[in-house]
Amino acid sequence: MKTLKYIVFLFALTFVLASCKLNLPTLSATIGNDSYKAVYILAVHGQMPTGDNGFVIMAGDNSDLKKSKYLAFVVRGDKPGEYSMSTLISDSIPQVAAIYSPVGQGDSLNKYVATDGFVKITSVNLQKNQVSGEFEFTLKDKTGNILTVKNGKFDNILFVNVSDIMSQLEQFDK
């Protein structure tokens, strides 16, 4: 009888877990002709040097950092909406900036910088520290090679608030 109860319990537990929708963080895009899927994502939310709040999101596609392709972007805004590189918030500061490195950290010469593009924030949950959205960029390296980033999507990215970090650091000073 105990065995039957155990089997029923395991079946019920399996059913409950299978019906739960896990909202794992993801970031993916098509860069050039290649699929890009991040295996690690770092995100920070807080006040930018320009005074407005925004996000810095960094991702890599390989757990071996020397082999990872890096994608990073800054969004000067933290509300749902579309933020564009063509919209300046001051003299020469765009709402969005992005950089891509197609090789590992050892090659600082082979970086692409976004010349055009946007980030669309579709949702921000300040209680859960999660952000989701879409992005597209045109990237250019020092020699003029161009790459496009299309179908970019980030979902349920967990972020750290700069103010939380600062308050923790202040505790060490006391």
Over the chain (174 residues), the average pLDDT of each successive run of 10 is 49 45 82 93 87 90 82 92 83 84 64 92 92 96 92 94 68 59
Q: What pLDDT score does 8 carry?
A: 44
Residue 19 placed within a domain: no
Residue 45 placed within a domain: yes
Residue 5 placed within a domain: no
Residue 1 placed within a domain: no
Residue 56 placed within a domain: yes
User: 3-state DSSP helix/strand/coil percent for the chain, to nearest 5?
Assistant: 15, 50, 35
Q: What pLDDT score does 151 carry?
A: 97
The number of CA neighbours under 13 Å toward the Cβ of 46 is 12
Q: What pLDDT score does 142 carry?
A: 87
Three-state DSSP string of 70-120: EEEEEECCCCCEEEECCCECCCCCECEEEEEECCCCCCCCCCEEEEEEEEE
Residue 40 placed within a domain: yes
- Domain span at residue 62 reads 24-173
Number of domains in the chain: 1
Residue 94 placed within a domain: yes
Residue 28 placed within a domain: yes
